[in-house]
């Protein structure tokens, strides 16, 4: 097979260590070795998988700031009759509150001012808000969980918990675990990519460690694509550096690093070699990825008017589809600005306008390209919002504080049961009354769909085995197709 000289595969041949190449070429292997060993003996990725996978990749849309389940998904029409009544103590049960509302003299019930409709799904329909008309029309594909729970009550630990399975920083993120477990399916792109959309309202800090690799080898950390300018910083060669020069420089550095790796046995040295090679290949693959000129007009139209605005949720959703069809394992979209402590009705409308059509378009686009079956889509915030108003309650305006005791997320594709709802909350959407789903359970279930036993996808660090689900987590069979 002859390759054009600018083909990145040319260069890979130079850096594949000979030892590894010959070892791989050395005859055939019997399959009598244990689970996982076959993939490893064949030199294939994914040796940590112990189950037949239903999903090959994940698209995780994290709504940073925590969207209100009451105004989007968790329909409580009877609350309208309780407008401005005090939240009963029997419901609140003395639960801790954030410092933002713990000083409030009363907790007046704020029903949603948005109209809900019942959409056909594969059960007896699901009530969804007028804020998300496009997404609602895909109800037959979506799996709604109304009984999500978390331990954290503030954004920082809340997001950290969702992303890493632990409230304290330092553990590898979900995407890093998936990258570590599945390996890459496209050697020209990172296996974990992160994109961020700035929100329309109150935005919380977004730390890069939410997509960090913790103690996993650092090539598994998420690679952030920037919205403006170069998608990846410092990827372009500086003026005057030709590509062959860059190649020679990388070869020399890799040779030095290889010696250091053999001396110190530090896996981070090899991670550094791998990342430099990845960056070199991304010099070719990223510009091709982010160039929408090969998308037809109908597809662009599907994602809505903002699709050509770099960094918009629409543009990021389209990029997510392009990454999915290129085999990237974990694609994470952050949408900021859901932290609506005040002026919720106005802000949530703008947020929903930004995400509704693009996310629906992404699902439709994946579906018709035959990718939705093997792509696990997850949508959710780090917690929910309170039924009582934070600050002044009026007939047109209210705010909602953080609420970890119940909230809604949805999933689609990748072996998730389509068109169902799971779990129930009480009449105030304050406590879970049926089928609570903990964060560890969600992680365990998603890992299951990716082919992992969450108790066996482990990494030894500081003398013990760590896992995403820590010491907890159950696979919830009802959520599986």
With respect to another protein, which residue has the nearer C-beta, 91 or 113? 113
With respect to another protein, which residue has the nearer C-beta, 225 or 437? 225
Query: In angstroms, what is the minimal distance from the CB of 138 to another protein?
Result: 6
Q: Is 25 left (phi over 0), alpha (psi -120 to 50) or beta?
A: alpha
With respect to another protein, which residue has the nearer C-beta, 53 or 413? 53
Q: How far apart are CA 424 and CA 76, in angstroms?
A: 11
With respect to another protein, which residue has the nearer C-beta, 385 or 405? 385
With respect to another protein, which residue has the nearer C-beta, 115 or 477? 115
Residue 113 token pair = 């001012």
With respect to another protein, which residue has the nearer C-beta, 39 or 91? 39
Whether 59 contacts 377, CB under 8 Å: yes
Query: In angstroms, what is the minimal distance from the CB of 416 to another protein?
Result: 16
The 8-class DSSP code of residue 259 comes to H
Whether 29 contacts 42, CB under 8 Å: yes
Q: How far apart are CA 64 and CA 438, in angstroms?
A: 18
Q: Where are the alpha helices (H) located in 3-54, listed in sequence order?
A: 8-15, 18-25, 37-41
With respect to another protein, which residue has the nearer C-beta, 128 or 153? 128
Closest CA to 321 of 302, 338, 306, 336: 302
Query: In angstroms, what is the minimal distance from the CB of 181 to another protein?
Result: 6
Q: How far apart are CA 325 and CA 130, in angstroms?
A: 31
Whether 328 contacts 186, CB under 8 Å: yes
Whether 306 contacts 32, CB under 8 Å: no
Strand partners, 192: 330
Q: Which residues contact 21 (CB under 8 A, 6 or more apart)?
A: none
Query: In angstroms, what is the minimal distance from the CB of 96 to another protein?
Result: 27
What is the secondary structure of 216-257 as a DSSP string? S-GGGSPEEEPSSS-SSTT-SPPTT--HHHHHHHHHHHHHHH
Query: In angstroms, what is the minimal distance from the CB of 3 to another protein?
Result: 7
Closest CA to 161 of 339, 331, 381: 381
Whether 430 contacts 406, CB under 8 Å: yes
Residue 141's Cα: distance from chain center in Å? Answer: 18
Q: How far apart are CA 146 and CA 75, in angstroms?
A: 10
Closest CA to 146 of 429, 439, 386: 429
Closest CA to 148 of 445, 468, 449: 445
State the angle between helix axes of 243-264 and 8-15 in degrees (0 to 180), rounded to the nearest 10. 30
Residue 430's Cα: distance from chain center in Å? Answer: 26
With respect to another protein, which residue has the nearer C-beta, 53 or 358? 53
Query: In angstroms, what is the minimal distance from the CB of 265 to another protein?
Result: 7
Query: In angstroms, what is the minimal distance from the CB of 127 to another protein?
Result: 9
Q: How far apart are CA 150 and CA 86, in angstroms?
A: 25
With respect to another protein, which residue has the nearer C-beta, 31 or 228? 31
Whose tokens are 């703008």? That residue is 350
Query: In angstroms, what is the minimal distance from the CB of 292 to another protein?
Result: 15
With respect to another protein, which residue has the nearer C-beta, 120 or 253? 120
Query: In angstroms, what is the minimal distance from the CB of 92 to another protein?
Result: 24
Torsions phi, psi for 278 (to 5 deg): -60, -45
Query: In angstroms, what is the minimal distance from the CB of 447 to another protein?
Result: 12
Whether 446 contacts 480, CB under 8 Å: no
With respect to another protein, which residue has the nearer C-beta, 85 or 397? 397
Query: In angstroms, what is the minimal distance from the CB of 1 to another protein?
Result: 5
With respect to another protein, which residue has the nearer C-beta, 95 or 264? 264
Query: In angstroms, what is the minimal distance from the CB of 186 to another protein?
Result: 4
């Amino acid at each position: 097979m002859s390759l054009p000289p600018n083909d990145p595969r040319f260069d890979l041949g130079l850096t594949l260590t000979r030892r590894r190449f010959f070892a791989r070429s050395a005859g055939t292997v019997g399959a009598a070795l244990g689970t996982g060993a076959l993939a490893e003996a064949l030199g294939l990725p994914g040796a940590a998988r112990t189950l037949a996978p239903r999903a090959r990749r994940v698209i995780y849309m994290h709504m940073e700031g925590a969207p209100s389940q009451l105004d989007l998904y968790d329909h409580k029409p009877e609350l309208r009759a309780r407008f401005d009544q005090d939240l009963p103590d029997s419901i609140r049960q003395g639960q801790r509150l954030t410092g933002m509302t713990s000083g409030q003299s009363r907790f007046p019930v704020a029903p949603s001012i948005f109209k809900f409709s019942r959409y056909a799904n594969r059960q007896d329909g699901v009530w969804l808000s007028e804020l998300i008309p496009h997404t609602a029309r895909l109800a037959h594909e979506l799996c709604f969980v109304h009984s999500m729970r978390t331990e954290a009550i503030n954004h920082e630990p809340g997001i950290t918990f969702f992303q890493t399975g632990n409230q304290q920083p330092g553990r590898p993120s979900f995407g890093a675990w998936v990258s570590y477990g599945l390996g890459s399916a496209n050697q020209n792109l990172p296996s974990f990519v992160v994109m961020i959309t700035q929100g329309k309202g109150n935005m919380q800090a977004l730390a890069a460690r939410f997509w960090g690799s913790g103690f996993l080898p650092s090539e598994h950390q998420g690679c952030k694509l920037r919205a403006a300018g170069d998608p990846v910083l410092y990827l372009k060669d500086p003026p005057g550096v030709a590509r062959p020069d860059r190649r020679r420089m990388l070869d020399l550095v890799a040779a030095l690093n290889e010696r250091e790796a053999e001396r110190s046995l530090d896996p981070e040295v090899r991670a550094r070699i791998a990342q430099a090679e990845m960056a070199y290949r991304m010099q070719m693959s990223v510009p091709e990825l982010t160039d929408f000129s090969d998308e037809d007009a109908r597809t662009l139209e599907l994602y809505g008017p903002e699709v050509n605005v770099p960094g918009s949720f629409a543009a990021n959703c389209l990029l997510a589809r392009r990454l999915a069809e290129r085999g990237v394992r974990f694609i994470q979209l952050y949408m900021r600005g859901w932290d609506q402590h005040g002026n919720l009705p106005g802000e949530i409308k703008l947020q929903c306008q930004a995400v509704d059509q693009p996310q629906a378009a992404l699902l439709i686009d994946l579906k018709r390209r035959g990718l939705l079956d093997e792509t696990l889509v997850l949508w959710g915030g780090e917690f929910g919002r309170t039924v009582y108003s934070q600050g002044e309650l009026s007939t047109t305006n209210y705010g909602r504080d953080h609420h970890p005791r119940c909230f809604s997320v949805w999933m689609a594709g990748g072996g998730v049961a389509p068109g169902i709802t799971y779990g129930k909350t009480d009449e105030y959407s304050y406590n879970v009354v049926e089928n609570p789903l903990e964060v560890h359970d969600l992680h365990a279930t998603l890992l299951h769909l990716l082919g992992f036993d969450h108790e066996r996808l482990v990494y030894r660090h500081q003398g013990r085995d760590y896992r995403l689900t820590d010491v907890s987590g159950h696979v919830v069979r009802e959520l599986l197709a």
